[in-house]
Amino acid sequence: MVAILLVTAILVTLGTHVNLITVSMSLLLVVLASATFFGRNPALLASFVAMLCFNYVFIPPIGTWHIADSQNLFAWAAFTLTAIIAGELSAYARRRAREAERLYEELQKAFQDATEAAALKQSEKLKSALLDAVTHDLRTPLTSIKASVTTLLDSEGGHRTIELNSEGRAEFLDIINEETDRLNGFIESMVQLARVEAGTKGASAAFSNVEEIVTIALERAETIAAEHHLTVNLQEGLPLIRVDARAIAEVVYNLIENAVKYSASQTTITITAIQQADRVFISVTDEGKGIPPEMREKVFEKFVRLDTGHSDGLGLGLAIARGIVEAQGGRIEIKTGDNGIGTTVTLMLQIGEL
């Protein structure tokens, strides 16, 4: 709060040398700094004080809480919303960075039983991967959010430098919404990986129906697969399998999501389930470019992604899938799709014994 008041005093001293955009960005920087160094609650307080100062000191008529010009009212509202969102996101990223550090410490502890040289090598690789994930995959959506907010601010107020109509503003708000969802997805992947590596995914195994598992995955994938043709081939009379149904449905959904991502629209994605001996095989096949043989094992490693031009994701999906499946006594493998086209990923799960 003191920093907000100090910056406000400096800006007032500068007088005509600053405009509303300069003022708003200066106050936003203080809000972000508060979130980064002190956390969520100080950032919210800083954003509230900044909003009051912005209104009372800089928006005409100066020295009152009244806002005469509707454009200035929109600029004030945009600043207030941006300050709160920016403070929350910065504080959120700070908390997640701490969780990443704790995860790193936990994984370091797990390597204590190995030789000192092997443990050191492994921990350095993990540290590098975590740093890469935080600096690239988390910074990218934050950069998009920052650029969108800056553009919105530049288009409002008495010193607008960019002209935006309502459709243009809506487009930038959509970007902010989508990138926020993307950040949330990254964090969920990190948390899920931590749970898998902690060995918690096999605890709720029970007798589960294969058809119900596939149905749950398909219902969740309905939106993302809207531009593809989904085909389901389930063998009749499939036995029950002893697994955590929700976790396996999550794996099947992940495989469908990958198939959508790495195959062209209007192509077919096929989900099959058959019994062979004492196992049930659940497969997802796409008609994409396929995965080179030398990469079919490597893609199950953490933070590994195919170089196909798709930058979304941390490269954790298949690592999480393998962890879930193997925790429940199953296997997962990749091979070429039917007729040498695309990719087939197959889950091999044990039949439950009554």
For residue 109, name the pLDDT band (cuts at 50, 70, 90). Answer: confident
Calpha distance 146→134 (Å, rounded) = 17
Calpha distance 92→75 (Å, rounded) = 25
For residue 153, name the pLDDT band (cuts at 50, 70, 90). Answer: confident
Calpha distance 144→174 (Å, rounded) = 11
Q: Hey, what domains does the chain have and what are their CATH numbers?
A: 2-197 (no CATH), 206-350 (3.30.565.10)
Phi and psi (nearest 5°) for 73?
-65, -40
Give all strands (DSSP E) within the chain, no chain letters: 206-208, 229-234, 241-243, 268-276, 279-285, 331-336, 343-350
Quote the pTM value.
0.52
Average pLDDT over residues 211-238: 93
Calpha distance 55→52 (Å, rounded) = 5
Residues 349/277, Cβ–Cβ less than 8 Å: no
Which pair of structure tokens corresponds to residue 132? 């890469």
For residue 286, name the pLDDT band (cuts at 50, 70, 90). Answer: very high
pLDDT in tens, 10-37: 877 776 667 777 777 787 777 777 766 7
Calpha distance 308→343 (Å, rounded) = 14
DSSP state of 56: I
Specify the pLDDT at position 201. Answer: 47
Question: Which stretches of the chain are DSSP H helices?
Answer: 2-14, 20-38, 40-53, 70-110, 116-132, 139-154, 166-197, 210-221, 245-261, 317-327
Name the average pLDDT for the chain: 77
